[in-house]
Structure 1
């Protein structure tokens, strides 16, 4: 995808952090830090795929923002190779309409392997893909946001169960065995975790998909 983008004239800037955004009726300017140097980009349009930083991007534009991104780690396992043919397609649990999470499921990957997961464990760093991750700014933003406490208390039982099974592999396995009883605890091999950028409203509501913001600028 990157090659096709650059072949069409696009430019990719890695190691670049957006530090400020300014919008007029004609243009939008992104102030960035690229390898320690200040760089500005000006354009007529801006499309952001901000994910874990979506709320901070809207605040940079002074757009009224009544939600905050709360990170949840989704931990996966990969099955041992002897189980590469254990399924032919995706197998999902019945979804919980109150929680916009996929639940632990089995997925055939493009390389033929099969992954199991994810769970949903509270993250303490927006880009904390490791096992132990804490970012003081991210924690501060969470604990000072009323929606974080409301959603945490509302789903406290589920959260504690997910955390317990994160540390206790046998509990994780029990969920998998509901629809694939051939899997044993030794079949659960390490695999990278993902981070869900969950938008939470001030009243503690979870945004299941998209959050529409109507904003009329100057």
Structure 2
């Protein structure tokens, strides 16, 4: 049998390219082919976020998210420095604005220490020293948090992988996948037939669909949530010096209005998370009936909605009312007015939901003969892309050695 490659990676986001890069580094000579359905890299989750290098303070000790985030943050800073990519280790404040948030703030201090993250507790005057426009009862400073351009990181992964012999094809949407013996066959929408010895599914928002095409029932469904952002007007960007976060709800640490000064100096505010009517539904008017019907037909979606409708109602309210969104911002930044906020491009979070309605909170991998599926790669996936890429590469290279049945 003639193979077009040894490992075929589906998905040109940061996880797919970090995997390709890791394979070429750990196993030189392995032929790697990356398929991306868009005309460029990092067009979806990777290129549509606030660019935060997460410390790992929120994540349960011992979880993959905690381990990968702490390790990945240090590696990402080092990689950006070595490659000359824009980045900055700013640290961040997690600020309590209400008395009932103080116990959760103190719990975060303990969690950070368990995860090996340096944290420092601050009072109101110390908050003001770091962020003069921010108000709060207490805060913690997390020194290892920073910002970078994850799109630029992905492009550099691609350059390094290409230099080592990898190939990247754009406009290559996958139509079907088959397996016969030791061969995995991939048919793209333009009619190309590709044969590979191992397949890696890093399709992000479409990871569950690709898994089913490959004959693997993942037992979950990707449910898209649109993350809506505002920016501070340039003349008001000086209100925020670095990164400022509210105390998170333990059940939904990714929710809440954050203040993030990016590497380009723009201050992003958000995200607000609302259900999207398409997997790539970056605008309210974007509706894809087939995708929406598939989401609504999954019983886990309704169970999730019944369980978390109160949170959802608040998110939708802030989505529809700029005044309500501004009020949420004013809890941290009292000087902000509605006129200070201008709409910014939205992103979509690929949230894996199980049939019982529970949200998959950690990285989720699955393997079937000669295939590796990345079914859930939530934040901090971009931060942790280097160690995650190595783990996926290890699994893919092990799949090359399996005996066909």
User: Do the two structures share a fold, i.e. TM-score over 0.5?
Assistant: yes
Partner of 1:76: 229
Structure number with greater Rg is: 2
Number of corresponding residues: 215
Which moved further from structure 2: 104-113 or 44-53? 44-53
Query: What is the match of residue 310 of structure 2?
Result: 157
Q: Which ranges in structure 2 are unaligned for 5 or more consecutive residues?
A: 1-154, 371-404
- After TM superposition, the structure 1 = structure 2 runs for residues 115-126 of structure 1, keeping only pairs within 5 Å, are 115-126=268-279
Residue 109 in structure 1 maps to residue 262 in structure 2: yes
Q: CA deviation at 1:19?
A: 0.9
Residues 16-42 of structure 1 deviation map (CA, whole Å, 9 limit, x = unaligned): 211111234523222111xxx201222
Query: What per-residue deviation string (whole Å, max 9, x for no partner) do you get for residues 72-93 of structure 1?
Result: 0000001101222322321111
Which of 211, 218, 227 is residue 65 of structure 1 equivalent to?
218
Q: Is the 8 A contact 1:165 1:172 kept in 2?
A: yes
Change beyond 3 A, Cα 1:61–1:215: same
In structure 2, the CA distance between the partners of 1:168 and 1:54, relative to structure 1 (3 Å rule), is: same
Q: Name which of 287, 290, 293 aligns with 1:140.
A: 293
Inter-partner Cα distance in structure 2 for 1:69 and 1:203: 14
Q: Which runs of 5+ in 1 are unaligned?
A: none
Match for residue 91 of structure 1? 244
> Offset at 1:100?
5.0
Mapped to 1, the partners of 2:289 and 2:256 lie a distance apart of 29
Q: Which moved more, 1:2-11 or 1:191-200?
A: 2-11
> Structure 1 residues 61, 100: CA separation in 2 closer, same or farther (over 3 Å shift)?
farther
Q: What is the DSSP-based 3-state SS (H/G/I as helix, E as strand, rest coil) of the residue aligned with 2:272?
A: coil
TM-score (norm 1): 0.91
Change (3 A) 1:75 1:28: same
Do 2:177 and 2:187's aligned partners in 1 also have CA atoms closer than 8 Å?
A: yes
Distance 1:79 1:102 in 2: 19
Distance in 2 (CA, whole Å) between partners of 1:142 and 1:92 is 31
Distance 1:10 1:214 in 2: 23
In 2, the alpha carbon distance for the partners of 1:102 and 1:158 equals 9
Runs of 4+ in 1 over 4 A off after TM superposition: 214-218
Q: Which has the higher helix share?
A: 2
Check the 8 A contact 2:351/2:359 in 1, yes or no: yes
Aligned to 1:163, the other structure's residue is in SS state helix
- Match of 1:17? 173
1: CA distance between counterparts of 2:250 and 2:290? Answer: 31
